[in-house]
């Protein structure tokens, strides 16, 4: 797929736009003023592949906490601010990698200029975030509903306020909980400007339904070359947001990270516990960052052929498992040994990747998730 050409900005050490890898973001759920809990959450999210984290800044105490958190965060920090420009100035004093603020909501152009001047001095970007549920009243009156055209017009209004001050280090998001509206809004915006786009389906819902909506909406956009950063917004643990985001990117071969478990659906031919083994293997190997495809297949109809396409895998049946590695049958093992055996083989292969004995990339040659340090 050909990605849309967008401008390059930097969020800390993470490049955004202009062909850079699509970055995975999330947002903390802990009160930002609780610094230890927020840092613990950030560490957990970073360990599963979160590359940029956003923090809610609800008052001056939270704004002061952001600077302290940033000093210890393993990944870049975005401060999420609404209405009060003093909070933006405070987080910029303490240290932050970007801010999310809609300039049309903070008052006069002089207030916008005060923020922009500080941002220019520090070389930091601004994210403009438009949600269908909070559009300006005059746009709702004009369009009747928060339609994609209204969302785009709202975003461009905010952009113009920044461009008026000669500021162009901008990232834009236009989120709706409705998947078709989200797709149409981002598609229209991608035609109207070349600023990088942060894509997401807002308020997608609980884990299952939210994952489906996000996969459909974001998958469509990414497959059409639209999107420079991604957040999956779930009513669930943010760790799950990051996992789903990576799943979407991996399914489109846009990014590679960790173990990709390939497992067959259940049917009457199964003679091993494919469902249980696949689920446990995926959970037990979640800490692996090295990229590889692992097949766990439950019968001989497709198992041998599909297993050979993986870096390593098992096709099981009739009390035995046939182990494949790099497309070749290596050995037979007992069906009761499959889970532990495959875990051991993956761990060994990951260590060989870390030691440089085999390439640290999947079959398609795409790079694995890079180590993102503090800027």
Pairing mode, strands 292-297 and 312-317: parallel
Kindly report the pTM of this predicted structure. 0.87
Q: What does the pLDDT read at residue 366?
A: 38
Question: Sign of the CA dihedral 328, 330, 332, 336?
Answer: negative
Q: What's the pLDDT band for 108 if we cut at 50, 70, 90?
A: confident
* Residue ranges, CATH 3.30.413.10, the chain: 259-354
**Which class is 9-251 in CATH?**
alpha beta
Q: In the chain, where does the domain assigned CATH 3.20.20.20 lie?
A: 9-251
Q: Tens of pLDDT along 32-66? A: 999 999 999 999 999 999 999 999 999 999 999 99
Across the chain, mean pLDDT equals: 89
pLDDT at res. 306:
64
For the stretch 159-203, pLDDT in tens is 999 999 999 999 999 988 899 999 999 999 999 999 999 999 988
Please give the full DSSP string across 86-121, using - where no structure is assigned: HHHHHHHHH--SEEE--GGGS--HHHHHHHHHHHHH
The DSSP bridge partners found for residue 324 are 313, 329
- Which range, 111-125, 268-282, 298-312, has the best average confidence (pLDDT)? 111-125
Whether 297 shows a pLDDT value over 60: the answer reads yes
Is 347 annotated as a binding-site member?
A: no
Q: Answer yes or no: is 264 a known binding residue.
A: yes
Compute the radius of gyration of the chain from its Cα atoms.
23
**259-354 domain in CATH 3.30.413.10?**
yes
Q: In angstroms, rounded to a whole number, what is the distance separating the alpha carbons of residues 158 and 372? A: 30
pLDDT at residue 69 greater than cutoff 60? yes
- Does the annotation place 306 within a ligand binding site? yes
What are 355-375's pLDDT values in tens digits? 998 877 544 333 444 433 332
pLDDT of residue 219: 97
Evaluate if residue 303 carries a pLDDT over 60. Answer: no
What integer pLDDT is reported at residue 371 of this predicted model?
35
d(CA 232, CA 248): 10
pLDDT score, position 304 = 61
In the chain, which residue ranges form alpha helices assigned H by DSSP?
Answer: 35-47, 60-72, 85-94, 109-122, 137-143, 148-163, 179-192, 207-223, 238-251, 274-284, 303-307, 338-354
What pLDDT does residue 300 have? 59
| pLDDT tens-digit map of 242-253 | 999 999 999 999
Read off the pLDDT of residues 199-234 as tens digits, 9 standing for 90 and up. 999 888 899 999 999 999 999 999 999 999 999 999
Chain centre distance of CA 234 = 12
Structure confidence at residue 270 (pLDDT) = 72
The pLDDT score that the predictor gives to residue 301 is 60
Contact assessment for residue 309 and residue 293, using Cβ atoms and an 8 Å cutoff: yes
CA–CA distance, 164 with 25 (Å, rounded to integer):
29
Residues in the chain: 375
CA distance 84 to 58: 9
């Amino acid at each position: 797929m050909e990605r849309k050409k967008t401008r390059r900005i930097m969020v800390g050490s993470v490049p955004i736009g202009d062909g850079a890898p699509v970055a995975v973001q999330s947002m903390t759920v802990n009160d930002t003023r609780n610094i230890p809990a927020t840092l613990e959450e950030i560490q957990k999210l970073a360990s599963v592949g979160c590359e940029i984290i956003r923090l809610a800044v609800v008052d001056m105490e939270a704004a002061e906490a952001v600077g302290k958190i940033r000093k210890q965060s393993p990944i870049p920090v975005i401060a999420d601010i609404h209405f009060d420009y003093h909070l933006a100035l405070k987080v910029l004093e303490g240290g932050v990698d970007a801010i999310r603020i809609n300039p049309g909501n903070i008052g006069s152009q002089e207030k916008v200029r005060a923020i922009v001047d500080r941002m220019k001095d520090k070389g930091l970007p601004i994210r403009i975030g438009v949600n269908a549920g909070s559009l300006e009243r005059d746009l709702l009156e004009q369009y009747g509903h928060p339609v994609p055209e209204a969302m785009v017009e709202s975003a461009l209004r905010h952009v113009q306020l920044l461009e008026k001050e000669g500021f162009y280090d901008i990232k834009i998001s236009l989120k709706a909980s409705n998947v078709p509206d989200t797709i149409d809004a981002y598609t229209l915006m991608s035609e109207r400007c070349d600023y990088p786009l942060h894509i997401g389906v807002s308020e997608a819902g609980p884990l299952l339904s939210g994952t489906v909506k996000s996969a459909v909406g974001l998958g469509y956009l990414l497959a059409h070359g639209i999107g420079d950063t991604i957040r999956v917004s779930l009513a669930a643990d943010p760790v799950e947001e990051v996992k789903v985001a990576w799943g979407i990117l991996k399914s489109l071969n846009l990014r590679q990270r960790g173990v990709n478990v390939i497992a067959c659906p259940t049917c009457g031919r199964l003679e091993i516990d494919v469902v249980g083994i696949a689920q446990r293997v995926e959970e037990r190997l979640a800490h692996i960052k090295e990229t590889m495809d692992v097949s766990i297949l439950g019968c001989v109809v497709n198992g041998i052929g599909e297993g050979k396409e993986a870096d390593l895998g098992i096709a099981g049946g009739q009390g035995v498992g046939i182990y494949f590695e790099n497309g070749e049958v290596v050995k037979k093992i007992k069906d009761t040994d499959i889970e532990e055996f495959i875990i051991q083989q993956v761990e060994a292969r990951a260590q060989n990747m870390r030691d440089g004995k085999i390439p640290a990339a999947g079959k398609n040659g795409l790079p694995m998730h890079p180590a993102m340090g503090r800027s």
